[in-house]
Chain A
Amino acid sequence: MRMIMDYIQLAAEGFGRFIAEYKYLALIIGILLYTLVCLRKYKEHKIRTFLAYTAAILLVLIIPVTAVVLLVYQTRFYDYGWVWSAAPLTAALAWGIVAVVFEEIPGVSSALPEHSEQKKTGKTVATRTITPRLLGILAAVSLLFMCGNQGRLQGISEKDAQLQAAGAEILQYMKMQDLIQDRVIWGQKDIMQHIRKSGGETILFYGRDMWDAKAGAYDYEAYTPEETACYEWMEIVSSSDNLYLLEVEQAPEYIHEALATDVYLREAIARDVDVIILASQITSWMERKILLVAEEKGLTVSGAQVGEYTLWIFD
């Protein structure tokens, strides 16, 4: 019972979020209402079936109780938004616009006499025929434009692009120095992600499923609390916002605490990490600790500066 209530709550909340993003839903419902009113114009059984299915599935998805049935059917592996895959939103919207424009705005040529003088000059007739429907289509396009992203297409942010460039630079250096094979790498999440995406030969301390839970569906194994703590520490000492605070000497206490501790470095080395990638700004805090940890474990360590990062290589 509790699970069903959770599902109903998920469906109700999900719908709210969904329509906030997907503003076309109102447009589709409008078109469906229009077609219901003007159903006599659509005599084809296939179109009636298509409209009936679209209306029925929208109803099922909008009412939280019925949406739960689909949520249970698709299992908790998928988010609420994916239940909307069953509704042919794009097809219904595109069909609706074309149907409304072509049914409600008749071509001028049909109104002209069959053997009109104007028809002899194809250009004039064509222009006169196109204009009203074209205006209708332009109105529909404007409506779509306003309901959609208004032409602002998504792209990767400047910060992400910088991190990717840094990751590419580090990877190139590691390949040149032959530091890739059989070495476990640990660093900031975006850089590790870029390194792993660039080739299968790299081995990471932990994967993207550490911060992107959905990415972990392929694996039954979970990370230990120690590994999670190492990840959290690394993100604190590598975050560009925190590094900026350090530069302007306004860093809060927890950053200084993170920089003062070496327990996570020890933990990483104990888990066979060979290369640690840290921002160059924190080298003065980290250098002594890294040397001490290496000495304790009987390893030699060397540092190499690549861009704004320092690679600590343990052998």
Chain B
Amino acid sequence: MRICTSQCCVHCGVLAYTGLYFSRKRCEKIAGRLAIHGKENMLIILGVIFMCFPLLPGTGITVLINRKDADISADLWETYLYGFLCCIGIFEIGHLAGVFLDQTVTMCGKITIGLFAAVSILAGVSIFVKRRKVLSAVGIRVKKRRPVDSVHGAQDKMCRTGLAGVVFCGLLIGQVVYICTVPMLQTAGDITLETVNSFLFSDGIYKVSPLTGKAFGGAPLRYEILCLPTVYTFLCKWTGISAQQIVCNVIPLLTLCVTYMVYYLLSGTLFGKDKGSSEKRVWFLVMAALIFFLSEASVYMDGYGILHGGHLGTTIRNCILMPLMLYAALEKKWLLSVLCILAEMCIVWTFWGLGTCVVVLVGVCMMDLILKKSHLDKLFSGLSSKEENSR
């Protein structure tokens, strides 16, 4: 999991540029040569791009924001999530260009690809310029590696973590199978599939009414600026995969994977990032996965969103952005917090333009201040030390 970021960015850079320069037809040709046929080829390519693409801008941001002595190769997941939020921003810019300049979805896609290319080049340049920092950070990591625990202790720990890992993998596979095989439930108010179909047919953004197909006066601006339907339409157009598959299977799977990434990141804050707490971190993921499975009875629960509506903006907000905001606020990573707030504005109707991420940020900062100002921490620490002394 802790793959060196600099090595990763080289791989993902190659893949990202492959994605940019190779058109759909070329990708199909490559897949044809690899003897993968039908739409499966595009699904595989899409999966690879989802896995690797956000890493390049993510690495660029991580390199730019880290201090001299910081270990920038510390968290691959955080780098990925920076890139993920950056991708939402890029898609939003492409979408806004379509809305305000009255462009077609095809043109929006071209603008988005151009932006991706520009961001990738910028990220590549920043990595190249700061390569010494990257290399020194890798050096710090290698030096920082702690001595291996005693053989029996390590075996014991590995066995326990392994068991938790197996349980988690089982649950994850179960969820993947569920998302891929069970027909999606109709969530009240969800018109994503119809909207994507109407965008695909008219090659425009809200040119026709998503629910009837008739010409109409246009959607409210706060609704129109939400980018998710355009992102899905762009993916359908570029890959040739049906809207049904993109909306009901591909995007929910991506949401599921990114959710666990965020929860893994959050577990590091709650249980510690040292190797001793890896067992607790994996059990935390197991519990989260179980809660998702067992709490899918209501639309407002995370489980319902993950299993029945992974394509919805509210699900991405509740399952990815909220825990990520919690992580960012607890770790005091302000750039990540701002990116979360902006991402929420791009994908969920928030009306006032702020959204729930702001509530979490303000809440956590207030609690942090109250705990510090009132010296409650010291009080509790004092109490605990007195109790220990009395024992």
Contacts and interface: CB of A to CB of B under 8 A. Distances in A.
Contact of A48 (B200, B213, B350, B380): B380
A153 B212 contact: no
Interface string A124-161: 01100110011001001100110111110111100001
Contacts, number: 254
A218 interface: yes
**Range, interface on chain A:** 35 or more
Interface string B305-347: 0011000001001100011001000110000000000000000
A212 B299 CA distance: 15
A21 B300 CA distance: 10
Nearest to A141: B290
Contacts of A43: 380-381, 384
Interface in A65-100: 70, 73-75, 77, 79, 81-82, 84-86, 88-91, 93-95, 97-98
Nearest to B325: A88
Interface in B257-284: 263, 266, 269-272, 280, 283-284
A85 B209 contact: no
B217 interface: yes
B291 interface: yes
B66 interface: no
Contact of A90 (B155, B244, B288, B380): B288
A122 interface: yes
A90 B352 contact: no
Contact of A207 (B193, B212, B266): B212
B371 A86 contact: no
A149 B212 CA distance: 36
Contact of A73 (B195, B208, B349, B352): B352
Contact of B152 (A75, A119, A209): A119
A200 B297 contact: no
B189 A215 contact: yes
B212 A40 contact: no
A125 B304 CA distance: 40
Contacts of A86: 322, 356, 359-360, 363
B280 A98 contact: yes
B211 A207 contact: yes
A93 B291 contact: yes
B211 A145 contact: no
A89 B271 CA distance: 17
Contacts of A191: none
B298 interface: yes
A147 B216 CA distance: 46
Interface stretch (A49-57, A241-249, A253-261): A49-57
A56 B363 contact: yes
A156 B248 CA distance: 14
11 contacts: A40-B380, A48-B377, A50-B364, A79-B300, A81-B298, A86-B356, A94-B288, A130-B159, A207-B210, A215-B188, A215-B190
